[in-house]
Amino acid sequence: MSDTPPPINRSLAEILEAILFASQKPVSAKEIGAILKGAAEASKDSPLPFAKAKAQEIQDAIEILENQYRDSNRSFEVRESAAGWQIVTKPEFAPWLRQLFPENRPARLSAPSMETLAIIAYKQPITRADIEAVRGVAVDGVMQTLLDRGLVRIAGRADIAGRPLLYETTTFFMEHFGLKNLDDLPNAAELRRVAVPTAQPTTPETATAPATPALEDASPADPGHRPSTEQATGVPTDTP
């Protein structure tokens, strides 16, 4: 006989609250559906509800939690990003939480890294040469930092001479800044229309010109679970 007590009837919102509370990362609607189905299949002797919960039912239950937390003025909230939902503490409680986990203080991205990340976010997919045309310096060091942090990834190759690599932001970038999609970037529509310098085609004269020295990023690797709290062009940040 199992020592596990029989399940008590719970609402879908309560079940989702438990899932989000226990998870160390955002949970998507697809993952929640799989969890509900798996739990029901594993409890054949005591059938569990919501095994076939639809995406809209899950969304409605999440909204119930959001309203409950807001109405009771809790210190935490449900945050939705491109990766799914997660229960997180509100930004205003960051000073106290940093004292609770001093060893996990995140390393901040340097200003050159943040500038490069902003260019990629608004103009993606974009080549390294075009990024350098905007910034006016080589970006080898900062690009490697952004790739190592998982904020940027290679998106393919441009259909131009030499077929240079294209770069774009990642799902982790969206999670890092609490974005549902790229339209949530500040002034996204306006800034995407702004004309910026682009790389000029290579000529025999420019091909032999010395390259601008790379601007290295001295920021150490981030040892903590949470990403940096540094902001890029006003994008909302995660709490620690």
Cα angle 94-99-101, degrees, rounded to a multiple of 5: 90
**For the chain, how far is it from start to end, CA to CA, in angstroms?**
43
- Res. 218: pLDDT tops 50: no
Least reliable range by pLDDT among 44-58, 109-123, 188-202: 188-202
pLDDT digits (tens, 9 = 90+) for 50-66: 999 999 999 999 999 99
Least reliable range by pLDDT among 106-120, 148-162, 191-205: 191-205
pTM over 0.85: no
CATH code matching the domain that covers 111-207, chosen among 3.40.50.2300, 1.10.10.10, 1.20.1440.230, 3.40.50.720 = 1.10.10.10
pLDDT over 70 for what percent of the chain? 77
pLDDT score at 230: 39
- Residue ranges with strand state E in 118-227: 126-127, 152-157, 165-169
Q: Which of 148, 181, 152 is nearest to 165 (CA)?
A: 152
Query: What are the residue ranges of CATH 1.10.10.10 in the chain?
Result: 12-89, 111-207
User: Quick one: tokens of 192?
Assistant: 């995407």
pLDDT score at 210: 44
pLDDT score at 118: 92
CATH number of 12-89: 1.10.10.10
User: Quick one: tokens of 90?
Assistant: 């509100």
Q: Which of 136, 142, 139, 137 is nearest to 113 (CA)?
A: 142
Distance between CA atoms of residues 173 and 213, nearest Å: 27
Place of tokens 């390294």: 128
- Residue ranges with strand state E in 70-120: 76-81, 84-89
The mean pLDDT value of the chain amounts to: 80
CA dist 97 → 68, 100, 210 (Å): 23, 5, 48
Of residues 46 and 174, more confidence is placed in 174
CA dist 120 → 96, 126, 143, 179, 239 (Å): 33, 6, 10, 15, 23
pLDDT digits (tens, 9 = 90+) for 128-177: 999 999 999 999 999 999 999 999 999 999 998 889 999 999 988 988 88
Q: Are residues 160 and 177 in contact, defined by beta-carbon separation less than 8 angstroms?
A: no
Distance between CA atoms of residues 142 and 128, nearest Å: 11
pLDDT digits (tens, 9 = 90+) for 63-108: 999 999 999 999 999 998 888 999 999 989 988 988 888 776 667 8
* pLDDT confidence band for 193 (50 / 70 / 90): confident
- φ, ψ for residue 88 (rounded to 5)? -135, 155
